[in-house]
Amino acid sequence: MIQMYIPLNFLGVIYREIKQSLTDLDKMFLLLEKEREVRDAPGAQPLAGRDATVRFEDVSFAYEPARPILKHVSFEIPAGKTVAVVGPSGSGKSTLARLLYRFYDVQEGRIVIGGEDIRHVTQASVRQAIGIVPQDTVLFNDTIEYNIAYGRPGASHDEVEAAARAARIHDFISSTPKGYQTMVGERGLKLSGGEKQRVAIARTLLKNPPILIFDEATSALDSANERAIQAELKSAAQNKTTLVIAHRLSTVVDAHEILVLEGGVIVERGTHLQLLARDGRYAQMWALQQIEAAEPVL
Ligand code: ATP
């Protein structure tokens, strides 16, 4: 019976994946690849969820042994606060998010949620506690309703609509011929980067996890869209423990702490005002972005 159950269960997973038919197959395989990287420890229990404080304690990590990516990274996101990470492309910012979501296990140090090492609890319970708004949201070739409800399977239409309103995507959805039943994705209605991120925010609002990871899109949205997304994110992050991977410094001004990551090392840390006063890397990046923002768009 057990022998039968495992392959059938596996087929069930495959069937679900095919049915959902991700718009980006490469991403699906990447995701499945990552799923295989970590295994629950024998007898692992779910996260107790005592509180949503996140701590990286002296974390080092490499995808390949010869190339360390993160080196002795330590920081804390107190429950309900926002910590933002900035730094050049390739410095390891998104890797922090992947480790917190436990796509990979750290090789040195530990990541702790509410006092518990995430390697010692079930992966599913860690992912249940975290909502991710990724850089590029993967939409399923299904209705927009399904795509939002994916945040909490079994959610009612009213709950989906409330999340869509909060993420300010409801009006857009209502303007499409079939509303919430409109098919999206590769074989349906194509959404812009900003619209996709709003779907991801709606999904996350519906899931209502205590911890939020927001990986800001690198591709520039138009400034009205960007401001709108930032406002929605701010309301989504209220009272949640939030890690923001920021590409635009305007996102981080209100953060409890800003970490400047370079080559996998935290080279500066503090609030926006503290870092400006320090007149170091962050202040340089800030000055540069001010100049860029002031340049006329040709
Ligand atoms: P960006 O701002 O461009 O998004 P980032 O700071 O988020 O960059 P990461 O995505 O964390 O950077 O990547 C850090 C380094 O790790 C990069 O050099 C990248 O090439 C490498 N890297 C990322 N994913 C993998 C992987 N799966 N296997 C091997 N190396 C990887």
The reported pLDDT for the residue numbered 242 is 95
Position in ligand 1 atom list of the atom nearest CA 92: 11
The reported pLDDT for the residue numbered 118 is 96
Has residue 10 got a pLDDT over 90?
A: no
Closest CA to 189 of 237, 143, 250: 143
For atom 4 of ligand 1, the residue with the nearest CA is: 89
The reported pLDDT for the residue numbered 233 is 78
Q: Is 139 helix (H, G, I), strand (E, B) or coil?
A: coil
The reported pLDDT for the residue numbered 218 is 61
pTM of the predicted model as reported, rounded to 2 decimal places: 0.83
Which residue among 36, 60, 63 has the greatest number of ligand 1 atoms within 8 angstroms of its CB, and so is best to mutate? 63
Confidence band for 27, pLDDT divided at 50, 70 and 90: low
Out of 190-199, 225-234, 235-244, 286-295, least confident range: 225-234
The reported pLDDT for the residue numbered 220 is 53
Q: Can you list the alpha helix ranges (DSSP code H) found in 107-221?
A: 123-128, 144-149, 157-166, 170-175, 193-207
The reported pLDDT for the residue numbered 188 is 80
- Asked whether 275 lines ligand 1 (CB < 6 A), one says no
* Residues counted in the chain: 298
For atom 1 of ligand 1, the residue with the nearest CA is: 89
Structure confidence by residue, pLDDT tens digits, 153-173: 889 999 999 999 988 899 999
Most confident of 157-171, 202-216, 256-270: 256-270
The reported pLDDT for the residue numbered 22 is 44
- Summarize the confidence of residues 261-288 as an average pLDDT: 96
- Asked whether 3 lines ligand 1 (CB < 6 A), one says no
Position in ligand 1 atom list of the atom nearest CA 64: 29
Share of the chain above pLDDT 70, in %: 83
Structure confidence by residue, pLDDT tens digits, 80-127: 999 999 999 899 999 999 999 999 999 999 999 999 999 999 999 999
Measured in angstroms, how far is the CA atom of residue 96 from the centroid of ligand 1? Answer: 10
Q: What is the ipTM of this complex?
A: 0.97
C-beta of residue 137 within 8 angstroms of C-beta of residue 206 = no
Structure confidence by residue, pLDDT tens digits, 220-234: 566 666 777 777 777
Closest CA to 219 of 93, 89, 116: 89
The 10 Å CB-count burial string (b at 16+, else e) for 197-236 is: bbbbbbbbbbbebbbbbbbbbeeebeeebbebbeebbeeb
Q: What is the mean pLDDT of the chain?
A: 84
The reported pLDDT for the residue numbered 245 is 92
Share of the chain above pLDDT 90, in %: 56
Higher-pLDDT residue of 166 and 30 is 166
The reported pLDDT for the residue numbered 275 is 97
Position in ligand 1 atom list of the atom nearest CA 245: 7
Has residue 284 got a pLDDT over 90?
A: yes
Which amino acid appears at position 78 of this protein?
P
